[in-house]
Amino acid sequence: PSLGCPPDETAVSGQPQVIKVQESPEEWQKVYPTYWAVSLHQIQELNHKLRDHYSSLGDDFSKKTLRQIVPDYIQPETQGHGVGYALKENQAKPLRASLMISHCWDEIYDTFVDH
């Protein structure tokens, strides 16, 4: 089974990630980029997790950029899963993107979330 664009549209949509379906670990599913999304609530939850993470290190989260957060937190969280953060968080039910938000790698993450 697959979620997202049919195979004849992959030139536009990109190649799928193949993930295990949590309810049926022996079943695999192709998930196209249109389903590599996180909700606003999940972004806000991530913001709280990041505050706690950097606080535990005695580090000032308010000055962290997206470029710093990815290797500090996102990569360790997704390492060994074979998928990005959105699919890891939503493996049981991948979310279809309804809006695409772009960001700058050197933008302060807290500012990005607040706006």
- From first to last of its 115 residues, the chain has per-residue pLDDT tens of 455 555 555 545 567 667 665 666 667 778 888 888 999 999 989 999 999 999 999 999 999 999 999 999 999 999 988 889 999 999 888 899 988 888 889 999 888 887 7
Please work out, in degrees rounded to the nearest 5, the angle formed at the alpha carbon of residue 24 by the alpha carbons of 21 and 29.
30
pLDDT of residue 20: 65
pLDDT of residue 99: 86
Identify the CA nearest to 46 among candidates 4, 89, 82. 89
- Tell me, letter by letter, the H, E, C secondary structure of 11-55: HHHCCCEEEEECCEEEEEEEECHHHCECCHHHHHHHHHHHHHHHH
pLDDT of residue 11: 47
pLDDT of residue 91: 86
- Number of C-alpha atoms within 13 angstroms, CB side, residue 50? 25
CA–CA dist 76, 87 (Å, integer) = 15
